[in-house]
């Protein structure tokens, strides 16, 4: 068995669409934080801490170190993550939208198939005809419940500003074509499922057509589906013959959740 990691990290060195930061508490400073957590509960304790008293001293701990602690202050759309219907709107298929922790887990462990759409340029839309042609080219049979991964190659730009705009978007027609075949989960190796913001906004300002704004996401109001954004390493996969695992982190009442996505090849 071979496992291929298809996830990108939450990396505080990389340019991001949404601001975030990671607070990193080292082992030495952790001793001070430990004492503060214990002593801040009462006014006398806080005063004692400020005047230098410590309940646990560095010499009480192995190597004078406590435990590290990292706190991630980040949107759920940072790093590889899964969007579900609450992110798209308050309703889907005329029913209340569901949160990311309500994605059926059986959707998240299934056979996978990779559609090569590297022929699409940044800012272009992947049409229904594009999706159909890419599927035919695989020579694989798309079965209900399979997870469809769309490979653009844009993951190679991760860590640079180009990652924010050098990719195509998926049209509602392409999504509809795949969902009509029984697919529930789609994935892509780009920042987002829609075209980059600068292209959508330029078209909207030029034409006034609201339909150019986030059409892939808004399609989820019409038909329930989940999509994975910010995948990587899809070029390392065959067209089919593998399984995908993409369980979302269980966070209460969010429209998306981080996920460690991997391919399993027998």
- Strand, helix or coil at 235? helix
What's the pTM value of the predicted model, to 2 decimals?
0.93
Which residues, at least 6 apart from 6, have a Cβ–Cβ distance to it below 8 Å?
Answer: 80, 149, 187, 231, 232, 233, 234, 237, 244, 261, 262, 263
Cα 243 to Cα 161: distance, rounded to the nearest angstrom = 32
Amino acid 47: pLDDT: 95
| pLDDT, one tens digit for every residue, the chain (266 residues) | 999 999 999 999 999 988 999 999 999 999 999 999 999 999 999 999 999 999 999 999 999 999 999 999 999 999 999 999 999 999 999 999 999 999 999 999 999 999 999 999 999 999 999 999 999 999 999 999 999 999 999 999 999 999 999 999 999 999 999 999 999 999 999 999 999 999 999 999 999 999 999 999 999 999 999 999 999 999 999 999 999 999 999 999 999 999 999 999 98
Q: What is the pLDDT of residue 103?
A: 98
C-alpha 47: how far from its chain's center?
A: 44
Quick check: 131 and 176 in contact, CB under 8 A?
no
- Please tell me the predicted confidence (pLDDT) of residue 238: 98
Domains of the chain in start order, with CATH, are 2-11+76-265 (3.50.30.50), 21-72 (no CATH)
3-state secondary structure of 207: helix
For residue 223, what pLDDT is reported? 97
Give the pairing of strands 185-188 and 226-229: parallel
Alpha-carbon dihedral 127, 128, 132, 135, rounded to 10 degrees: 70
Res 209: pLDDT: 96
């Amino acid at each position: 068995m071979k496992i291929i990691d298809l996830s990108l990290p939450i990396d505080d060195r990389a340019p991001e669409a949404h601001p975030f930061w990671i607070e990193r508490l080292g082992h030495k400073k952790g001793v001070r934080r430990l004492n503060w957590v214990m002593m801040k509960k009462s006014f006398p304790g806080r005063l004692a801490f400020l005047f230098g008293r410590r309940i646990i001293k560095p010499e009480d701990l192995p190597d004078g170190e406590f435990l590290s602690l990292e706190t991630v202050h980040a949107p759920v759309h940072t790093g590889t993550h899964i969007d579900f219907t609450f992110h798209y709107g308050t309703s889907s298929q005329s029913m209340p939208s569901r949160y990311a922790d309500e994605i059926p887990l059986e959707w998240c462990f299934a056979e996978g198939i990779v559609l090569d759409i590297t022929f699409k340029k940044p800012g272009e839309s992947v049409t229904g005809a594009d999706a159909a042609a890419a599927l035919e080219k695989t020579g694989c049979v798309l079965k209900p419940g399979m997870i469809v991964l769309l490979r653009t190659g844009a993951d190679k730009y991760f860590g640079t500003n180009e990652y924010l705009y050098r990719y195509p978007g998926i049209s509602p027609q392409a999504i509809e074509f795949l969902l009509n075949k029984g697919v529930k989960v789609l994935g892509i190796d780009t920042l987002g499922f829609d075209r980059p913001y600068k292209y959508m906004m330029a078209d909207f300002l030029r034409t006034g057509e609201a339909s150019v704004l986030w059409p892939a996401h808004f399609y989820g109001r019409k038909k329930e589906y989940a999509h994975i954004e910010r995948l990587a390493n899809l070029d390392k996969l065959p067209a089919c013959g593998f399984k995908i695992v993409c369980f979302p982190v269980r966070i209460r009442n969010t429209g998306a959740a981080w996920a460690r996505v991997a391919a399993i090849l027998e």
